[in-house]
Structure 1
């Protein structure tokens, strides 16, 4: 059995998960990373994506997160998400609305920098839609 560690997934609304896990796959802004017990201390931002959590009993859960950051220590990991929801609780209509809003933000952008940021967010959302 793999070593386990404490993991918490927190959004501004609530604590979504607090569990003993064997691994967590996180969508870091520099790429996906797998966190396991005794991981080197790290703090990084996360991009919109899917977080996969494998509990110590082997059960796998998936959560969609929309930005935030993660604090990783050898004995635990805390992910503070701007917004998060369990994949099983996804409201596809809400995701469709977010995509439509992002498309409007791209179309209404006042500068190239704003347009690029809005386009990146839209790209993340459409990737999420395909992942679920």
Structure 2
């Protein structure tokens, strides 16, 4: 198993997770990435999706994140998420509301770029809804 490093996941409401982990799989804006100890420094945006943090003992913690920023360094990983909810706490009605809001954003978009961004978010939320439905 990989060496442990410090991982913190913070939402506006609270510190969601702060512990030593072996790896974290993150839904990055440019694609999913896996963080291990000693990773080269970089910053990226986070898209809606399910983040998976694996403890040194192999326990996997799955957390739905909706947007935010990831700051990776050789010392650890910090994610500032717009929203973070453990997958086991996800409720179908909450995700359905998020999808409804995203559908309204698509129809309200004034520009082609705005519509594209809103549609991308909607597609990601639908994927999360499907993932949450199969994980329960």
Tell me the TM-score range normalised by the shorter chain.
over 0.9
Aligned length in residues: 132
Q: Distance in 1 between matches of 2:111 and 2:9?
A: 35
TM-score scaled to structure 1, two decimals? 0.95
The residue number in structure 2 matching 1:113 is: 113
How far did 1:109 drift? Answer: 2.4
Q: Distance in 2 between matches of 1:110 and 1:77?
A: 36
TM-score scaled to structure 2, two decimals? 0.92
Gapped regions of structure 2 (runs ≥ 5): none
How far did 1:67 drift? Answer: 0.6
The residue number in structure 2 matching 1:83 is: 83
Gapped regions of structure 1 (runs ≥ 5): none
SS in 1 for 2:52: strand
How far did 1:112 drift? Answer: 2.0
The residue number in structure 2 matching 1:33 is: 33
- Say yes or no: does 1:123 pair with 2:133: no
Q: Distance in 2 between matches of 1:2 and 1:28?
A: 21
